[in-house]
Amino acid sequence: MAQITLRVQSMQTRAPCPLCATPARRIHSDYGRTLADLPWAQYRVCLQLRVRKWFCGNRACPRRIFTERLPTVAAPWARRTLRLAQRLVALGVALGGTAGVHLSHQWDLVVSRNTLLRLLRRQPALAFPTPRVLGVDDFALRKRQTYGTILVDLERRQPVALLPDRESDTFAQWLQAHPGVEGITRDRAKAYADGARQGAPQAIQVADRFHLVQNLAETLTQLFNRHSAAFQVVNAAMAQTPHLRPDGTMVVPVPPSTPPRHAQLQAAHSRSRRLARHEQIWALRRQGWTGQAIAHQLHLATSTVFRYLRSPTFAERTYKRRGHSILNPYKDRVLQLWNSGCHDALQVFHRLQQQGYQGSYPTVARYAQRLRQAQGFKPRQRAPEQPLPRVAEPQHGHLTPRGTAWLVLRRPETRDPDEEQQLAQLTVQQAELAEAVTLAREFTDLLRTRQPDCLESWLERARTSAVAALRRFAQGLRDDYAAIKAGGTVPWSNGPVEGHINRLKMLKRHMFGRAHLDLLGHRFLRPPRERVAQDGGPREQEHTPAPAQAA
């Protein structure tokens, strides 16, 4: 690449001493500096700069000779100009190392990824004003191993700090170093509650409403896992029950496929292994072992042990994972042909091939066998002359404990009649399920309609409930009563915090998960935007990153 070299000489008549700021007038000598500058068109620009050394006239100054500073051109000892350093820092903040190098090549800048990251790390830490309303939540530096804490100013919707862990002492120390926080929104983590109580006792703690609903969904999931038999009854009934379509036609659902023999053996082996693990964990628990000790003894993750300890009854899986079939894009066409009277699987296969189907005939034959089963005649039996019921793919899959928990907590207007029918069939199986569903819906309505005055009566009903899981949930709410009640009163929530966590995850993935907290903080904690008066200029602008001291 062609290069333009400019020979430049400093013409200052005096220079202040960098230590005592005394103006110097006696020149000692001069020397040359080579600085890289921003490119001009397709040419690189290099500055051959002659600067001078001066005698300091202040006899009390420890420095006798110093070099003149050019603060608007380059930093001391730098090999690039100030504006080039600022451009590279902005590139590193936006894209990081490798991606920043790729874009720099398009801008005719020569830089390595290590240089970009080094310039980024040398930036001074940004100072933010103490927020009045603070949002706090955790994020994973390395999932299930290392976690940090993000702090967000909810009024400005601006992240203000990243903490290296999620311990109460660390959070309390930050609050003590930044007095003036009046409100703190958080999830149900005990560490943040204790840290807020220690670091800012005058601040109002607010329990986030979404996390309250999430905790209730986890409680319902634990309860539903204990009633796997009821789920199996409902799923079997829904797989055989005809339903009325919006156009008025009655259709029967296609029954689920039967897994192959090897898959059944594998599922049975998996169930026996999980059952043995459940029995081992509870046997040690009854002997007085703690969860951490059980995990260490059985070489399991602590989260796995506590998941088994949530229920003394082994939780059967009420669903199976459904894989992708090459026939899925063509099932609507198969059902159209079948309902129109074409009951020959081979003929259906040939018609699908004309539409681009690349699968095999046995796949179509197996699906046709399920259609015959739905209509009630055997595989090799001729279709009867009387009209057969129409068949259709079920609109809703099997009920699962986790999916049903969120189905219960959804807004009533978002549930369709089929889902309401499934829930009704489930609740009639067990009185415990009906009571849990009723109390859960009342609690979500209480949160959505902002009725904190009704919280006390709900807690009393949950405390006397026959559902042990809801009694434990209510006791947890009682222990955090002030924050729960504030969550239904004040307008603040952890929604902006969750949004910034998503951006933080994006940056982590962009850096392949190898960035330490300092580099992650430089890219994540952006300087706040400044509003500019509406005088014809831009509406808003951002602070320019500080230049690097040296490269």
- Around 80, how many Cα atoms within 13 Å sit in the side-chain half-sphere? 23
- Note the pLDDT of residue 341: 84
Distance CA 507, CA 500 (A): 11
- Note the pLDDT of residue 138: 95
- Note the pLDDT of residue 380: 64
pLDDT level of residue 257 (50, 70, 90 thresholds): confident
Distance CA 446, CA 505 (A): 33
pLDDT level of residue 452 (50, 70, 90 thresholds): confident
Q: Which of 82-91, 107-116, 367-376 has the lowest mean pLDDT?
A: 367-376
- List, for residues 34-71, the tens digit of each pLDDT value: 999 999 988 889 999 999 999 999 999 999 999 999 99
- To which H or E segment does residue 540 belong? strand 540-542
Q: Could you please report the per-residue DSSP string of 85-138?
A: HHHHHHHHHHH-SHHHHHHHHHTT----HHHHHHHHHTSPPP--PPPSEEEEEE
Q: Which of 363-367, 504-508, 516-520, 547-551 has the lowest mean pLDDT?
A: 547-551
- List, for residues 182-207, the tens digit of each pLDDT value: 999 999 999 999 999 999 999 999 99
- Note the pLDDT of residue 23: 93
Q: Which two tokens stand for residue 278?
A: 């459940």
pLDDT higher for 387 or 416?
416
Indicate whether 358 pLDDT > 50. yes
- Note the pLDDT of residue 127: 87
Listed residue (139, 187, 140, 191) closest to 170, CA to CA: 191
Residues 363-381: what's their mean pLDDT? 81
Q: Could you tell me if residue 376 is left (phi over 0), alpha (psi between -120 and 50 degrees) or otherwise beta?
A: left
Q: Which of 243-252, 435-444, 536-545 has the lowest mean pLDDT?
A: 536-545
Rg (CA), the chain: 34
Angle at which helices 209-225 and 431-448 pack, to 10 degrees? 170
- Note the pLDDT of residue 384: 63
- Note the pLDDT of residue 549: 38
- Note the pLDDT of residue 537: 41
Distance CA 9, CA 272 (A): 83
- Compute the mean pLDDT over every residue in the chain, rounded to the nearest whole number: 87
- List, for residues 457-514, the tens digit of each pLDDT value: 999 999 999 999 999 999 999 999 999 999 988 999 999 999 999 999 999 888 887 7
- Note the pLDDT of residue 343: 85
pLDDT level of residue 533 (50, 70, 90 thresholds): very low
Indicate whether 534 pLDDT > 50. no
- Note the pLDDT of residue 417: 81
Placement of tokens 């120390």 in the chain? 173
Indicate whether 123 pLDDT > 70. yes
- To which H or E segment does residue 239 belong? helix 228-240
CB atoms within 10 A of CB 56: 23
- Note the pLDDT of residue 245: 62
- List, for residues 274-325, the tens digit of each pLDDT value: 999 999 999 999 999 999 999 999 999 988 998 888 888 887 776 655 567 8
Q: Which residues pair with 43 in a beta bridge?
A: 40
- To which H or E segment does residue 140 belong? strand 133-142
pTM score, two decimals? 0.77
pLDDT > 90: percent of the chain: 55
pLDDT higher for 180 or 262?
180
Q: 133-142 and 146-153 as β-strands: parallel, antiparallel, unpaired? A: antiparallel
Distance CA 111, CA 117 (A): 11
- List, for residues 341-355, the tens digit of each pLDDT value: 888 889 999 999 999
- Note the pLDDT of residue 382: 66
